[in-house]
C-alpha cells in the first residue's frame, strides 16, 4: 500500500517538474504539430496502440521532444503514456534509421522541424 502511494506521489511530482522544465516548444505543441501532420489524434499518439500509423508519429514526436526540449528521456516517456526511457531511446534510434533509409520520411521530418523552429524563433 505504501509503495503504491509513493509511486502515485512520484508521478504527481514528475508531472509538476515536466511543466516547469518545458522550454519554448512544449511537449503539447510538438504532439499537436506532429499529430496534425500525420493526421493522428494526440490521444492515439500517446496511447497504447502499437499500429504503425500511430507508432511512427509517436516516435517522431519523441524525437522532437528530445531535440527541442530540456526534458530527460524518462520525462519524455512520461508525456507519452508513461513509457519507459528505453522506449524513448528506441524511438530516437528508429527515427534516425528511417531518415537514413527513406528520403520521403526524412523530408517529412525536415518539414516538421521547420514548423517547430518557427515556434522557437
Q: In which domain, by residue range, is 86 found?
A: 2-120
pLDDT at 121: 62
Q: What residues contact 95, with CB distance under 8 A and at least 6 apart?
A: 59, 60, 62, 63, 109
CA–CA separation, 100 and 44 (whole Å): 26
pLDDT in tens, 73-109: 999 999 999 999 999 999 999 999 999 999 999 999 9
pLDDT at 42: 96
Domain of residue 104, CATH code: 1.10.1750.10
pLDDT at 25: 79
- What the block records as the C-alpha cell of 74 is 524518462
pLDDT at 84: 96
pLDDT at 22: 42
Question: Within 13 Å, how many C-alpha atoms sit on residue 120's CB side?
Answer: 16
Q: How many separate domains does the chain show?
A: 1
* Total count of residues recorded for the chain: 121
Amino acid at each position: 500500500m505504501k509503495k503504491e502511494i509513493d509511486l502515485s506521489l512520484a508521478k504527481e511530482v514528475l508531472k509538476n517538474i515536466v511543466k516547469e522544465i518545458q522550454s519554448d516548444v512544449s511537449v503539447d505543441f510538438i504532439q499537436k504539430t506532429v499529430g496534425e501532420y500525420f493526421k493522428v489524434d494526440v490521444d492515439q499518439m500517446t496511447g497504447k496502440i502499437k499500429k504503425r500509423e500511430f507508432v511512427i508519429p509517436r516516435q517522431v514526436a519523441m524525437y522532437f521532444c528530445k531535440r527541442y526540449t530540456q526534458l530527460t528521456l524518462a520525462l519524455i516517456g512520461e508525456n507519452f503514456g508513461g513509457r519507459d526511457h528505453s522506449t524513448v531511446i528506441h524511438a530516437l534510434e528508429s527515427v534516425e534509421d528511417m531518415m537514413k533509409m527513406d528520403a520521403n520520411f526524412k523530408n517529412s521530418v525536415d518539414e516538421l522541424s521547420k514548423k517547430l523552429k518557427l515556434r522557437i524563433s
